[in-house]
């Protein structure tokens, strides 16, 4: 396959601004990469060819699964249902603790390798084997055939393959299938303006409340994530937040309290998932998160006034249960990814006291 034939198959991006010097500014995420001709953005999947921006991963899935929706994790969005989960290669973050590093970081590693070899122009050719053809129409057909009510764009940061997910979400919306982002919170306002009508829910990782953590361990910044969380809530998109709690990095009482206080300042109805870390990728020297640490995070959430806090990546049936914030009744019981709806109506009402529970229930 020649580089010319590869180029002919590329999909021109929606979100970018052309510049007078043939460079482009990508506006899909808050990195706002300025990309020179023949170069790629930080994410490794958006390339400038001749002063136009193209996606290297349109219609090319690298990870596909049909999951319980609780695995995203989303606990207040169609509980007990299945969700079609899809990701590509690449990411705009460089997290040293990434749980999906084998797809998210492969383009970053490839870019470094080709840069050292002075072969960045070969990036399109090198990426031809990363992923397989799965067009938007096929994704929607699978969901319709299997009666799957929602699609999650996940595993890597969704907005870097915006054109692919946008076309998929629009087709899904027309068939009554909802779309979800599992995200690092770096979506641009330009991306959200286009996606808003077709996006039902998001789970955003709030990885830390430390600028140093984000800069050193994620190759990103904290403030854009906080801004996105506020923006998503203002747009009325259902929002849940996850924090992977890493021993010695973001597990102090002070930091956990600051994260909880921030979430509460946006809305006490936002569920907060505090999740256990396990060693991997470039952080194999750390110990797994002790259950006691997650309990400290849970209690910090309670002190901040959050109504719904959940522990994750461990078996903790008590703290993975959804309780009515008014009367304390157990509404949804969970063990692992098994879900039992016990005392909540189809429209999200506590059967005992009739308290309305925030979320999307049917």
pLDDT at residue 124, rounded to an integer: 66
φ and ψ at 273, to 5 degrees? -100, 120
pLDDT at 272 over 60: yes
Distance in angstroms (rounded) separating the CA atoms of residues 8 and 5 = 5
Distance in angstroms (rounded) separating the CA atoms of residues 47 and 90 = 12
Distance in angstroms (rounded) separating the CA atoms of residues 44 and 61 = 15
Distance in angstroms (rounded) separating the CA atoms of residues 108 and 123 = 11
* Rg value, the chain, Cα: 21
Summarize pLDDT for 246-260 with one digit per residue, the tens. 999 999 999 999 999
pLDDT at residue 95, rounded to an integer: 96
pLDDT at residue 125, rounded to an integer: 65
Point out the least confidently predicted range of 64-73, 113-122, 314-323. 113-122
Query: pLDDT grade, residue 130 (50/70/90)?
Result: confident
Distance in angstroms (rounded) separating the CA atoms of residues 190 and 194 = 7
Distance in angstroms (rounded) separating the CA atoms of residues 47 and 54 = 5
Query: pLDDT grade, residue 108 (50/70/90)?
Result: confident
Average pLDDT value for the chain: 93
Query: pLDDT grade, residue 18 (50/70/90)?
Result: very high
- If you average pLDDT over residues 71-81, what whole number do you get? 97
Query: pLDDT grade, residue 151 (50/70/90)?
Result: very high
Query: pLDDT grade, residue 353 (50/70/90)?
Result: very high
pLDDT at 299 over 50: yes
Q: Is 31 exposed, middle or buried, given 0-12, 13-18 or 19+ CB atoms closer than 10 A?
A: buried
Distance in angstroms (rounded) separating the CA atoms of residues 104 and 160 = 11
pLDDT at 99 over 80: yes
Q: Is 259 exposed, middle or buried, given 0-12, 13-18 or 19+ CB atoms closer than 10 A?
A: buried
* pTM, full prediction: 0.94
φ and ψ at 202, to 5 degrees? -140, 145
Query: pLDDT grade, residue 107 (50/70/90)?
Result: confident
Q: How far is CA 313 from CA 100, 133, 243, 290, in A?
A: 15, 31, 11, 11
Helix (H), strand (E) counts: the chain: 11, 19
> Which tokens belong to 191?
């991306």
Q: How far apart are the first and last CA of the chain?
A: 47
- If you average pLDDT over residues 168-195, what whole number do you get? 98
Distance in angstroms (rounded) separating the CA atoms of residues 331 and 350 = 7
Point out the least confidently predicted range of 104-113, 173-182, 221-230, 232-241. 104-113
pLDDT at residue 58, rounded to an integer: 96
pLDDT at 63 over 90: yes
Q: Which segments of the chain belong to CATH 3.20.20.70? A: 60-324
Query: pLDDT grade, residue 109 (50/70/90)?
Result: confident
pLDDT at residue 238, rounded to an integer: 98
Q: Fold for domain 60-324?
A: TIM Barrel (3.20.20)
- If you average pLDDT over residues 108-119, what whole number do you get? 70
> Which tokens belong to 178?
């909802």
């Amino acid at each position: 396959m020649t580089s010319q034939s590869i180029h002919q198959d590329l999909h021109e991006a929606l979100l970018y601004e052309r510049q007078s010097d043939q460079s482009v500014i990508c506006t899909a995420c808050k990195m706002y990469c300025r990309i020179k001709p023949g170069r790629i953005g930080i994410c490794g999947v958006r390339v400038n060819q001749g002063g136009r921006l193209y996606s290297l991963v349109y219609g090319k899935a690298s990870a596909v699964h049909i999951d319980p929706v609780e695995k995203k994790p989303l606990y207040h969005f169609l509980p007990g249902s299945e969700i079609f989960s899809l990701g590509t290669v690449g990411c705009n973050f460089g997290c040293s603790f990434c749980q999906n590093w084998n797809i998210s970081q492969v383009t970053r590693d490839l870019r470094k390798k080709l840069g050292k070899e002075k072969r960045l122009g070969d990036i399109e050719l090198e990426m031809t084997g990363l992923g397989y053809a799965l067009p938007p129409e096929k994704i929607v057909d699978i969901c319709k055939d299997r009666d799957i009510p929602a699609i999650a764009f996940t595993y890597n940061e969704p907005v870097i393959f915006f054109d692919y997910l946008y076309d998929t979400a629009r087709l899904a919306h027309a068939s009554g299938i909802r779309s979800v982002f599992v995200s690092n919170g770096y979506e641009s306002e330009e991306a959200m303006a286009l996606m808003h009508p077709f996006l039902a829910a998001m789970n955003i990782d709030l990885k830390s409340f430390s600028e140093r953590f984000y800069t050193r361990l994620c190759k990103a910044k904290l403030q854009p994530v906080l801004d996105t969380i506020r923006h998503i809530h203002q747009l009325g998109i259902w929002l849940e937040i996850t924090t992977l709690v890493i021993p010695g990095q973001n597990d102090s009482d002070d930091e956990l309290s600051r994260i909880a206080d921030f979430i509460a300042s946006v809305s006490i109805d936002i569920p907060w998932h505090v999740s256990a870390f396990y060693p991997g990728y470039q952080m194999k020297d750390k110990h797994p998160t002790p259950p006691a640490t997650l309990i400290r995070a849970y209690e910090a959430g309670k002190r901040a006034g959050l109504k719904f806090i959940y522990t994750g990546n461990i078996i903790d049936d008590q703290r993975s249960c959804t309780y009515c914030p008014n009367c304390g009744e157990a509404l949804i019981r969970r063990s692992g990814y098994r879900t039992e709806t016990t005392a909540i109506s189809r429209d999200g009402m506590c059967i005992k006291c009739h308290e309305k529970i925030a979320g999307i229930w049917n």
